Amino acid sequence: MEIGQLITSRANPKFKALRAQVHAGGAGRGHTLLLGAKLIEAWHGAPASGRLAPISWLRLEGATPHLLEGALGLPTWVLGEALMRDLAEAGSPPEHALLAALGPAPEGPLAERVIVPWGIQDPGNLGAILRSAAAFGFQEAVLGPGCADPFAPKALRGSMGAAFLMPVRRRERLELDRGAWLALDGGPGALPLAQAALGGPVRLLVGNEGHGFQGAALPPGITRVAIPIRGVESLNAAVAAGIACYETDRRARLGGNPL
Protein backbone atom coordinates (compact mmCIF):
# COMPACT_ATOMS: atom_id res chain seq x y z
CA MET A 1 0.00 0.00 0.00
CA GLU A 2 1.23 3.49 -0.81
CA ILE A 3 2.43 5.84 1.92
CA GLY A 4 -0.49 7.83 3.28
CA GLN A 5 -3.19 6.16 1.17
CA LEU A 6 -6.62 7.22 2.43
CA ILE A 7 -9.26 4.55 3.12
CA THR A 8 -12.78 5.58 4.02
CA SER A 9 -14.95 2.61 3.00
CA ARG A 10 -15.57 -0.50 5.10
CA ALA A 11 -15.99 -2.35 1.80
CA ASN A 12 -12.36 -1.76 0.91
CA PRO A 13 -10.86 -5.28 0.66
CA LYS A 14 -7.63 -4.25 2.37
CA PHE A 15 -9.54 -2.79 5.30
CA LYS A 16 -11.72 -5.91 5.55
CA ALA A 17 -8.58 -8.07 5.66
CA LEU A 18 -7.06 -5.80 8.32
CA ARG A 19 -10.17 -5.97 10.48
CA ALA A 20 -10.24 -9.79 10.24
CA GLN A 21 -6.59 -9.97 11.32
CA VAL A 22 -7.08 -7.72 14.31
CA HIS A 23 -10.29 -9.32 15.58
CA ALA A 24 -9.10 -12.94 15.40
CA GLY A 25 -8.63 -13.82 19.07
CA GLY A 26 -7.39 -16.52 21.40
CA ALA A 27 -5.17 -19.24 19.99
CA GLY A 28 -5.90 -17.99 16.46
CA ARG A 29 -4.43 -14.55 17.08
CA GLY A 30 -1.57 -13.76 14.76
CA HIS A 31 -1.82 -9.96 14.81
CA THR A 32 -2.74 -7.20 17.20
CA LEU A 33 -3.27 -3.45 17.17
CA LEU A 34 -1.55 -0.97 19.46
CA LEU A 35 -4.09 1.79 19.96
CA GLY A 36 -2.86 5.30 20.64
CA ALA A 37 0.52 7.03 20.59
CA LYS A 38 1.14 6.45 24.30
CA LEU A 39 0.81 2.68 23.97
CA ILE A 40 2.98 2.61 20.84
CA GLU A 41 5.67 4.58 22.66
CA ALA A 42 5.46 2.19 25.62
CA TRP A 43 5.89 -0.79 23.29
CA HIS A 44 8.86 0.81 21.52
CA GLY A 45 10.95 0.86 24.69
CA ALA A 46 9.58 -2.25 26.44
CA PRO A 47 11.76 -5.23 27.49
CA ALA A 48 9.65 -7.79 25.59
CA SER A 49 8.78 -5.60 22.60
CA GLY A 50 10.42 -8.08 20.21
CA ARG A 51 7.42 -10.42 20.42
CA LEU A 52 5.54 -7.92 18.23
CA ALA A 53 6.81 -7.22 14.71
CA PRO A 54 5.38 -3.91 13.37
CA ILE A 55 3.73 -4.10 9.94
CA SER A 56 1.80 -0.89 9.25
CA TRP A 57 1.14 2.48 10.82
CA LEU A 58 -2.49 3.58 10.93
CA ARG A 59 -3.22 7.29 11.18
CA LEU A 60 -6.58 8.97 11.64
CA GLU A 61 -7.55 11.25 8.78
CA GLY A 62 -6.48 14.80 9.66
CA ALA A 63 -4.09 13.76 12.45
CA THR A 64 -0.51 15.05 12.60
CA PRO A 65 2.11 12.38 11.78
CA HIS A 66 3.89 10.93 14.83
CA LEU A 67 7.70 10.93 15.07
CA LEU A 68 7.80 7.11 15.31
CA GLU A 69 5.73 6.84 12.14
CA GLY A 70 8.71 7.87 10.05
CA ALA A 71 11.36 6.36 12.32
CA LEU A 72 9.93 2.84 11.99
CA GLY A 73 9.93 3.08 8.21
CA LEU A 74 6.53 1.42 7.81
CA PRO A 75 3.80 1.97 5.24
CA THR A 76 1.10 4.32 6.54
CA TRP A 77 -2.63 3.79 6.14
CA VAL A 78 -4.78 6.90 6.66
CA LEU A 79 -8.23 5.86 7.88
CA GLY A 80 -11.45 7.78 8.06
CA GLU A 81 -12.89 8.36 11.53
CA ALA A 82 -15.58 5.68 11.25
CA LEU A 83 -13.04 3.05 10.20
CA MET A 84 -10.57 3.88 12.97
CA ARG A 85 -13.42 3.79 15.49
CA ASP A 86 -14.47 0.41 14.11
CA LEU A 87 -10.97 -1.04 14.56
CA ALA A 88 -10.54 0.40 18.05
CA GLU A 89 -14.07 -0.63 19.13
CA ALA A 90 -14.25 2.66 21.04
CA GLY A 91 -16.39 5.76 20.90
CA SER A 92 -13.38 8.03 20.47
CA PRO A 93 -10.96 6.77 17.80
CA PRO A 94 -7.22 7.11 18.48
CA GLU A 95 -5.19 9.35 16.20
CA HIS A 96 -2.56 6.64 15.74
CA ALA A 97 -2.40 2.85 15.81
CA LEU A 98 0.20 0.25 14.94
CA LEU A 99 -0.57 -3.08 13.29
CA ALA A 100 1.86 -5.76 14.49
CA ALA A 101 2.37 -9.49 13.92
CA LEU A 102 2.51 -11.61 17.06
CA GLY A 103 5.63 -13.79 17.19
CA PRO A 104 5.96 -17.21 18.84
CA ALA A 105 5.81 -17.63 22.61
CA PRO A 106 9.06 -18.25 24.49
CA GLU A 107 10.22 -21.82 25.03
CA GLY A 108 12.66 -23.54 27.36
CA PRO A 109 13.14 -23.28 31.12
CA LEU A 110 11.16 -20.74 33.11
CA ALA A 111 12.73 -17.58 34.48
CA GLU A 112 13.67 -17.10 38.14
CA ARG A 113 10.41 -15.34 39.07
CA VAL A 114 7.24 -16.24 37.20
CA ILE A 115 3.68 -14.98 37.65
CA VAL A 116 1.08 -17.63 36.74
CA PRO A 117 -2.46 -16.24 36.21
CA TRP A 118 -4.82 -19.22 35.98
CA GLY A 119 -8.30 -18.59 34.68
CA ILE A 120 -8.19 -14.78 35.01
CA GLN A 121 -11.06 -13.78 32.72
CA ASP A 122 -11.09 -10.00 32.97
CA PRO A 123 -8.53 -8.32 30.68
CA GLY A 124 -8.17 -5.43 33.12
CA ASN A 125 -7.35 -7.79 35.99
CA LEU A 126 -4.89 -9.70 33.83
CA GLY A 127 -3.18 -6.49 32.77
CA ALA A 128 -2.94 -5.27 36.36
CA ILE A 129 -1.44 -8.59 37.45
CA LEU A 130 1.21 -8.48 34.72
CA ARG A 131 2.10 -4.86 35.47
CA SER A 132 2.45 -5.52 39.20
CA ALA A 133 4.59 -8.58 38.55
CA ALA A 134 6.89 -6.65 36.21
CA ALA A 135 7.13 -3.77 38.69
CA PHE A 136 8.38 -6.12 41.41
CA GLY A 137 10.99 -8.00 39.44
CA PHE A 138 9.07 -10.92 37.96
CA GLN A 139 10.60 -11.86 34.61
CA GLU A 140 7.96 -14.00 32.90
CA ALA A 141 4.26 -14.85 32.83
CA VAL A 142 2.62 -18.22 32.21
CA LEU A 143 -1.10 -18.03 31.44
CA GLY A 144 -3.34 -20.99 32.16
CA PRO A 145 -6.60 -22.09 30.48
CA GLY A 146 -9.43 -19.59 30.52
CA CYS A 147 -7.20 -16.53 30.83
CA ALA A 148 -8.12 -13.43 28.87
CA ASP A 149 -6.19 -12.70 25.69
CA PRO A 150 -3.40 -10.31 26.77
CA PHE A 151 -2.71 -9.32 23.14
CA ALA A 152 -6.26 -8.30 22.26
CA PRO A 153 -6.18 -4.62 21.22
CA LYS A 154 -8.56 -3.53 23.98
CA ALA A 155 -6.65 -5.54 26.60
CA LEU A 156 -3.33 -4.02 25.53
CA ARG A 157 -4.79 -0.53 25.66
CA GLY A 158 -6.50 -1.08 29.01
CA SER A 159 -3.36 -2.46 30.65
CA MET A 160 -1.01 0.00 28.90
CA GLY A 161 0.98 -2.78 27.28
CA ALA A 162 1.56 -5.06 30.28
CA ALA A 163 1.88 -8.02 27.89
CA PHE A 164 5.12 -6.68 26.45
CA LEU A 165 6.71 -5.82 29.77
CA MET A 166 7.76 -9.47 30.08
CA PRO A 167 7.68 -12.69 28.01
CA VAL A 168 4.26 -14.38 28.05
CA ARG A 169 3.49 -18.03 27.28
CA ARG A 170 0.39 -20.19 27.67
CA ARG A 171 -0.03 -23.67 29.14
CA GLU A 172 -3.04 -25.95 29.18
CA ARG A 173 -1.85 -27.77 32.30
CA LEU A 174 0.53 -27.21 35.16
CA GLU A 175 4.03 -28.54 34.57
CA LEU A 176 6.00 -28.12 37.77
CA ASP A 177 9.76 -27.55 37.75
CA ARG A 178 12.32 -27.11 40.54
CA GLY A 179 10.95 -23.75 41.63
CA ALA A 180 8.73 -23.02 44.62
CA TRP A 181 5.12 -23.17 43.36
CA LEU A 182 2.78 -21.05 45.47
CA ALA A 183 -0.97 -20.65 44.93
CA LEU A 184 -2.70 -17.63 46.45
CA ASP A 185 -5.61 -19.11 48.41
CA GLY A 186 -7.30 -17.71 51.48
CA GLY A 187 -8.99 -21.01 52.34
CA PRO A 188 -8.46 -23.26 55.40
CA GLY A 189 -4.98 -24.68 55.82
CA ALA A 190 -3.22 -22.11 53.67
CA LEU A 191 0.21 -21.00 54.85
CA PRO A 192 0.46 -17.29 55.72
CA LEU A 193 2.45 -15.48 53.04
CA ALA A 194 4.93 -14.22 55.67
CA GLN A 195 5.95 -17.85 56.35
CA ALA A 196 6.22 -18.96 52.72
CA ALA A 197 9.58 -19.85 51.17
CA LEU A 198 10.32 -17.08 48.66
CA GLY A 199 14.11 -17.26 48.50
CA GLY A 200 14.69 -19.23 45.28
CA PRO A 201 12.90 -19.58 41.96
CA VAL A 202 9.26 -18.59 42.57
CA ARG A 203 6.16 -19.48 40.54
CA LEU A 204 3.21 -17.53 41.90
CA LEU A 205 -0.23 -18.77 40.86
CA VAL A 206 -3.23 -16.43 40.88
CA GLY A 207 -6.63 -18.07 40.47
CA ASN A 208 -9.93 -17.09 38.91
CA GLU A 209 -11.56 -13.87 40.13
CA GLY A 210 -14.65 -15.66 41.45
CA HIS A 211 -13.31 -18.62 43.41
CA GLY A 212 -9.52 -18.65 43.11
CA PHE A 213 -8.19 -22.08 44.02
CA GLN A 214 -10.70 -22.79 46.78
CA GLY A 215 -11.95 -26.34 46.41
CA ALA A 216 -9.58 -27.04 43.51
CA ALA A 217 -7.37 -30.12 43.57
CA LEU A 218 -3.85 -28.80 43.06
CA PRO A 219 -0.96 -31.10 42.16
CA PRO A 220 1.44 -32.17 44.93
CA GLY A 221 4.29 -29.72 45.22
CA ILE A 222 2.12 -26.59 45.19
CA THR A 223 1.83 -24.72 48.49
CA ARG A 224 -1.33 -22.77 49.21
CA VAL A 225 -0.51 -19.39 50.72
CA ALA A 226 -2.81 -16.77 52.20
CA ILE A 227 -2.62 -13.01 52.72
CA PRO A 228 -4.16 -12.25 56.14
CA ILE A 229 -7.07 -9.80 55.81
CA ARG A 230 -9.65 -8.30 58.16
CA GLY A 231 -13.22 -7.17 57.66
CA VAL A 232 -13.70 -8.41 54.07
CA GLU A 233 -14.23 -11.84 52.57
CA SER A 234 -11.45 -11.71 50.00
CA LEU A 235 -9.11 -9.52 47.96
CA ASN A 236 -9.35 -8.73 44.26
CA ALA A 237 -7.09 -11.13 42.34
CA ALA A 238 -4.92 -8.32 40.99
CA VAL A 239 -4.54 -6.72 44.43
CA ALA A 240 -3.56 -10.04 46.00
CA ALA A 241 -1.05 -10.69 43.23
CA GLY A 242 0.49 -7.24 43.70
CA ILE A 243 0.95 -7.80 47.45
CA ALA A 244 2.52 -11.23 46.90
CA CYS A 245 4.83 -9.94 44.17
CA TYR A 246 5.94 -7.07 46.40
CA GLU A 247 6.64 -9.46 49.29
CA THR A 248 8.67 -11.73 47.00
CA ASP A 249 10.79 -8.79 45.87
CA ARG A 250 11.12 -7.38 49.39
CA ARG A 251 12.29 -10.76 50.66
CA ALA A 252 14.84 -11.07 47.86
CA ARG A 253 16.30 -7.66 48.69
CA LEU A 254 16.68 -8.81 52.30
CA GLY A 255 18.46 -11.99 51.27
CA GLY A 256 15.42 -14.19 51.88
CA ASN A 257 14.88 -12.97 55.43
CA PRO A 258 11.09 -12.76 56.06
CA LEU A 259 11.47 -10.04 58.69
Asked if the model's pLDDT at residue 171 lies above 50, the reply is yes
Query: Residue 70: what are its φ and ψ, rounded to 5°?
Result: -80, -35
More confident residue, 108 or 199: 108
Residue 21's Cβ-count burial label (10 Å; 0-12, 13-18, 19+) is: middle
CATH, range 5-102: 3.30.1330.30
Q: Which region holds residue 89: left if phi is over 0, alpha if psi is between -120 and 50, else beta?
A: left
Class of domain 113-253: alpha beta
- Residue 53 sits at the vertex; the CA angle it makes with 137 and 63, to the nearest 5 degrees, is 100
Q: Are 216 and 207 in contact (CB under 8 A)?
A: yes
Report the C-alpha gap between 118 and 168 in whole angstroms. Answer: 13
d(CA 20, CA 196): 46
pLDDT digits (tens, 9 = 90+) for 175-219: 999 999 999 987 778 899 999 989 889 999 999 887 777 767 788
- H-assigned helices in 81-208: 81-88, 123-135, 153-158
- Tell me if 5-102 shares its fold with 113-253: no
How far apart are alpha carbons 236 and 23 in whole angstroms? 29
At 58, the pLDDT band (50, 70, 90 cuts) reads very high
Taking the C-alpha atoms of residue 90 and residue 106, their distance in angstroms, rounded to an integer, is: 32
Q: Pairing state of beta strands 202-206 and 5-7?
A: unpaired
pLDDT digits (tens, 9 = 90+) for 7-47: 999 999 989 999 888 887 666 789 999 999 999 999 998 99
Q: Nearest-CA neighbor of 168 among 195, 186, 141, 146?
A: 141
When pLDDT is cut at 50, 70 and 90, the band that residue 85 belongs to is very high
Q: What is the mean pLDDT of residues 60-78?
A: 93
Provide mean pLDDT across the span 39-62.
Answer: 93
Task: Count each helix (H run) and each strand (E run) in the chain, helices first.
Answer: 7, 12
Confidence of residue 1 (pLDDT cuts 50, 70, 90): very low
Average pLDDT of 113-122?
A: 94
Q: What mean pLDDT is reported for the chain? A: 89
pLDDT of residue 201: 95
Ranges of each domain in the chain:
5-102, 113-253
Burial 79-113, CB ≥16 within 10 A → b, else e? bbeebbbbbbeeeebbbbbbbbeeeeebeeebbeb
* pLDDT given for residue 2 in this prediction: 44
**Segment 49-65 mean pLDDT:** 94
Give the pLDDT score at 133: 95
The answer on pLDDT for 61 being more than 90 is yes
pLDDT of residue 26: 65
